[in-house]
A = this chain, B = another copy of it.
Amino acid sequence: MSLASLVRKLEQFVRLSPLDHAILNRASSERVRHFGPRVDIVREGEKPKDVHLILSGWAYRYKQLEDGRRQVVSFFLPGDICDVNVFILREMDHSIGTVTSVSIADLSREFFEQVAAGHPRIVMAFWWETLVNAAIQREWTMNLGQRTALERMAHLLCEIWLRLRLAGLTNGDSCDFPLTQADLADATGLSKVHVNRTLQELRAADLIVLKGKTLAVPNLDRLMRAGLFNPNYLHMDHEGRQLDAAGTTDAAAG
């Protein structure tokens, strides 16, 4: 229920000024809404009105075919922003549903206009967020198109793990993990049964400990190797900060 995860994540990339912090702080406390678990926040076909910032809880973006086949196309973890500037589109092409209880802040069009006008570091941080999300979506395409079930699952777990860690939501080698095997099936394009088999295999190889709603990753390196995981697409490197230091001026970085 805080924007700590967002700030922590964005500051991985640019250093934000105290004023930037204040702006984000205000925007994320003005219009906050709470949802129960397993509920839709946004439905395909609706007119997008605001941009949603996840303050707490897990959610996903999904698409569905008429016959019921369903694909989770991305996960939202605390600190994630649903889609900067979506409101310029006429209608949503996907739905957003909660996994756990979720608190979100609605960011208005006016907020983005204000940011665009006078807060180049936030603009830059949002572009970074946008580009990373695009990169994640490409990696999912790769994951579904080329990796085997085992690699695919290992890859997904690595990604979630690293994103949680960036948001400050891991504890040593374990973390909360509210996804069911059905969720994992929808995200990996596998059947529930095969997800189960695949998880057993990962457990047997001591790559994960998954029990109840907790995941532990005893050896991230080995899990990454099993998933052919290359973290480059998350663009977590700190070098971006140098961009900030190196002279992005206030008029720039649009």
Q: Please give the residue numbers on chain A whose beta carbons come within 8 Å of chain B beta carbons, in ascending order.
A: 44-45, 61, 63, 65-66, 69-71, 73-74, 83, 85-86, 88-91, 93-94, 112-113, 115-117, 123-124, 127-128, 130-131, 133-135, 137-142, 144-147, 188-189, 228, 232-233, 235, 237, 239-240, 243, 251-254
Closest chain B residue to A45 by CB distance?
A: B232
| Residues in chain B near residue A83, CB distance under 8 A | 131, 134
Contact A188 B145 (CB under 8 A): yes
Extra contacts, 9 of them, besides A88-B243, A116-B123 (Cβ < 8 A), are A66-B228, A85-B127, A88-B240, A90-B237, A112-B254, A113-B252, A116-B253, A117-B251, A145-B189
Beta-carbon contact of B237 and A73 below 8 Å: no
Tell me how far the C-beta of A24 lies from the nearest C-beta in chain B, rounded to whole angstroms: 16
A61 touches B127 (CB 8 A): no
Which chain B positions have C-beta within 8 A of A90? 235, 237, 239-240
Q: With a CB–CB cut-off of 8 A, which chain B residues contact A146?
A: 65, 69-71, 189
